[in-house]
């Protein structure tokens, strides 16, 4: 069975974009039996703490996409993050905005595999875990990674987001 194109984009290097294979990341995208649209559902399916789930949240940051990879145990403090990043407005993106900039649906947005690089912030709370899990491009796909590797492959900026 062929993997979904979004899963392939996360796993493989396509058009020179950073992906797991191209980043030298040995992780493999894993397909779960059911969709996991929330951090709690993903943690239950994987048998890990909810904090180990890297939620991928797309924000509209002054009209540009901003990917915030936050611990599943946190909520993003948008006013704090906007101030930290020097933004005028920071609001949750619409499903259409998310798909336009990532090519992926809400609930399955991966940290990588987008049509073009997306500015990324990585929650420093994720650093306390030896292994974290991120979405793999569709709501049933996930992959394991370390905090330092997640920061590296996304060129993300570590920050407190909660």
Tens of pLDDT, residues 28-57? 788 899 999 899 999 999 999 999 999 999
Q: What is the pLDDT of residue 20?
A: 53
| Topology of the domain comprising 5-159 | YbaK protein (3.90.960)
Calpha distance 23→146 (Å, rounded): 13
- The pTM (predicted TM-score) of the whole model is 0.88
Q: What percent of the chain has pLDDT over 70?
A: 89
Calpha distance 46→43 (Å, rounded): 5
* Domain layout of the chain by residue ranges: 5-159
**Residue 118 near residue 152, CB atoms below 8 Å:** no
pLDDT digits (tens, 9 = 90+) for 122-153: 999 999 999 999 999 999 999 999 999 999 88
- Contact partners, residue 61, CB within 8 Å, separation at least 6: 82, 85, 87, 89, 90, 119
CA 137 to mean position of chain CA atoms: 9
């Amino acid at each position: 069975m062929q993997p979904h194109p979004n899963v392939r984009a996360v796993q493989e290097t396509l058009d020179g974009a950073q992906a797991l294979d191209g980043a030298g990341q040995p992780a493999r995208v894993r397909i779960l039996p059911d969709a996991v649209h929330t951090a709690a559902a993903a943690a239950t399916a994987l048998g890990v703490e909810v904090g180990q789930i890297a939620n991928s949240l797309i924000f509209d940051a002054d009209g540009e996409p901003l990917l915030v990879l936050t611990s599943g145990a946190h909520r993003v403090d948008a006013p704090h993050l906007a101030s930290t990043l020097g933004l005028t407005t920071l609001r949750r993106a619409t499903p259409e905005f998310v798909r336009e900039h990532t090519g992926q649906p809400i609930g399955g947005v991966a940290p990588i595999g987008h049509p073009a690089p997306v500015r990324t912030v990585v929650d420093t709370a994720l650093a306390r875990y030896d292994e974290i899990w991120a979405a793999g491009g569709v709501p049933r796909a996930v992959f394991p990674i370390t905090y330092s590797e997640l920061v590296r492959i996304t060129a993300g900026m570590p920050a407190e987001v909660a």
